[in-house]
Chains A and B, each alone.
Chain A
Amino acid sequence: MDDAIAVRGLVVDRGRRRVLHGIDATVPRGSVTGLLGPSGSGKTTLMRAIVGVQVISAGTVTVLGAAAGSPPLRHRVGYLTQAPSVYADLTVRENARYFAALHGRDRSEADRAVADVGLASAAGQLVGTLSGGQRSRASLACALVGKPELIVLDEPTVGQDPVLRADLWARFHALAATGTTLLVSSHVMDEAARCDRLLLIREGRLIADDTPAAVRAAAGVDDLDEAFLRLIRASQPDQSGQAR
Chain B
Amino acid sequence: MSPRILAATVARILRQLRHDKRTVALLVAVPTVLLTLIYYMYADQPAPPGQPSTFDRIALVMLGFFPFIIMFLVTSIAMLRERTTGTLERLLTTPLAKTDLLFGYGIAFGLAGAVQAGIASAVAYWVFGLQTAGSSALVIMIAALNAVLAVALGLLCSAFARTEFQAVQFMPVVVAPQLLLCGLFVPRDEMAGWLQAISDVLPLSYAVEALQEVGAHAEPTGTMWRDVAIVAGAAVLALVLAAATLRRRSG
Mark A residues whose CB is within 8 Å of B: 13-15, 48, 51-55, 69, 71, 74-75, 77, 79, 81, 83-91, 94, 98-99, 101-104, 126, 142-143, 146
Residue among B19, B94, B249, B250 making CB contact with A102, cutoff 8 Å: B94
With the chains together, A81 CA to B19 CA distance in Å?
A: 24
- Asked if B175 CB lies within 8 Å of chain A CBs, one says no
Say if the beta carbon of B5 comes within 8 Å of chain A: yes
- Subset of 24 A-B contacts with CB under 8 Å: A48-B89, A53-B92, A53-B250, A55-B249, A71-B95, A74-B93, A74-B95, A74-B96, A75-B95, A79-B93, A87-B12, A87-B85, A87-B87, A89-B19, A90-B12, A90-B16, A90-B19, A98-B9, A99-B94, A102-B5, A102-B91, A102-B95, A102-B96, A143-B90
Point out the residues of chain B lying under 8 angstroms from A90, CB to CB: 12, 15-16, 19
For the complex, what is the distance from the CA of A69 to the CA of B89, rounded to whole Å? Answer: 12
Q: Could you tell me if A53 and B249 are in contact, using CB atoms closer than 8 angstroms?
A: yes
B12 touches A53 (CB 8 A): no
Which A residues are in CB contact (< 8 Å) with B12?
Answer: 87, 90, 94, 98
CB distance from B130 to the nearest CB of A (A): 35
Q: Are B16 and A81 in contact (CB under 8 A)?
A: no
Q: Specify the chain A residue showing the minimal Cβ separation from B249.
A: A55
Contacting pair B94 A15 (CB below 8 A)? no
Q: Within 8 Å CB of A126, what residues of B? A: 19
Contacts A53-B248, A89-B19 given; indicate if A104 touches B94 (C-beta within 8 A).
no
Contact of A51 among B11, B93, B95 (CB under 8 A): B93
Question: How far apart are the CA atoms of A53 and B15 in the complex, in Å?
Answer: 27
The 6 closest A-B CB pairs, nearest first, are A85-B86, A101-B8, A81-B86, A85-B90, A98-B12, A79-B93
Specify which of A13, A54, A84, A103 is in contact with B94 (CB 8 Å cutoff). Answer: A103
Contact B5 A101 (CB under 8 A): yes
Interface size for B (C-beta < 8 A) is 25
Which residues of chain A are near B95, meaning CB under 8 Å? 71, 74-75, 102-104
Closest to A73 in B: B93
* Docked-complex contact A81 and B15, CB < 8 angstroms: no
Query: Is the CB–CB distance between B94 and A146 below 8 Å?
Result: yes
In the bound complex, do residue B249 and residue A81 qualify as a contact, i.e. CB atoms below 8 Å apart? Answer: no
Q: Are A53 and B93 in contact (CB-based, < 8 A)?
A: yes
State in angstroms the CA–CA spacing of A228 and B4 once bound together.
48
B251 at the interface (CB under 8 A from A): yes
Please give me the residue from chain B that is nearest to A14 by CB atom: B251
List of A residues within 8 angstroms of B190 by Cβ: none
Bound CA–CA A167/B249 (angstroms): 33
| Interface membership of B189, Cβ < 8 A | no
